[in-house]
Structure 1
Amino acid sequence: MQVLYQVDVGKMAVDEALRNIQENFVLAESDFEFASQLVYGTLEKMEELDKTIAGYSREWQLERMAAVDRNILRLAMYEMLYVDDIPHGVSINEAVELAKRFGGKDSGKFINGILGAFARRVGETRA
């Protein structure tokens, strides 16, 4: 989420943002590779993800959402759509925890509401 935020808000190059994360956090190589796959996958599908998010956040335009919330939603929806070995509930729970830690006071509820509705719509195929 922090890499996506740096790319979105800071207009940082993806490789530079990934290097920052790698330098500032102790990550096993496999964790860094997984994080990189999530970042590149999310960015590759961002237009589709943003359209989906906009469809579920009728009261909030994507551009007016808090940048943290927007990027958490992008990442979680990417996982839910394209990462088969992560259950939807896990993606939602992790997103809510990120929102509580990095977002505003109502971010957790906002993220949970959108992702919960999305999960119900696409069907909970992964328990």
Structure 2
Amino acid sequence: MRARTKARKRALDILFESEARDEDALAVLGTRRDSDDAPPVQDYAALLVEGVTAHRERIDQLITEHAEGWTVDRMPAVDRTLLRIGIYELLWVDEVDDPVAITEAVELARTLSTDDSPRYVNGVLGQISDIAEHLRATL
């Protein structure tokens, strides 16, 4: 598994845990970074957690606008978290190409979520990617 793929998975774990425990994601990140018992937190994983946390309101607004048939609260937690990470990468991480961000999110959905999740995640991120240039200009 490539380094950034591992970092995305680690960010997913941290964000998922924080939501499941109703704890602040940055607090969970700090606990995981300080722990000798947990796997290490790569710098890119920390960047993703921090970025998703900082922009979560706007990210969730975009999910609401583009996720047909699902509200943010009703979608599977893994899918919701993958969409948040994917949207953050699409709009705020310049060194990751859009197709890479989408492919990585889809692959994690294939491994960690439902049978329908990869297609759904791909569709939502694809829609946002189509208008990403416009969205970046408004950030």
Q: Does the alignment reach a TM-score above 0.5?
A: yes
Is residue 12 from structure 1 mapped to residue 12 from structure 2 by the alignment?
Answer: no
Secondary structure of 1:64 counterpart: coil
| 1:50 matched residue in structure 2 | 60
| 1:89 matched residue in structure 2 | 99
- The count of corresponding residues between Structure 1 and Structure 2 is 119
CA distance in 1: counterparts of 2:121 and 2:25, whole angstroms? 24
Q: Which amino acid aligns with 2:18?
A: V
* 1:70 maps to which of 80, 99, 102: 80
Listed one character per residue, the Cα deviations across residues 64-108 of structure 1 (whole Å, up to 9, x for unaligned) are 000000000000100110000000000000000110111111110
Identity %: 31
What are structure 2's unaligned runs of at least 5 residues?
1-11, 134-139
What are structure 1's unaligned runs of at least 5 residues?
none
* 1:40 maps to which of 50, 59, 64: 50
Q: 1:48 to 1:15 in 2, by over 3 A?
A: closer
Secondary structure of 2:73 counterpart: helix
| 1:25 matched residue in structure 2 | 39
Shift in Å, 1:33: 1.7
CA distance in 2: counterparts of 1:80 and 1:15, whole angstroms? 21
Q: Which moved more, 1:75-84 or 1:10-19?
A: 10-19
Task: Give the aligned CA root-mean-square deviation in angstroms.
Answer: 1.7
Shift in Å, 1:25: 2.5
CA distance in 2: counterparts of 1:5 and 1:95, whole angstroms? 14
Q: Which amino acid aligns with 2:25?
A: V
Q: Which amino acid aligns with 2:54?
A: E
| 2:70 matched residue in structure 1 | 60
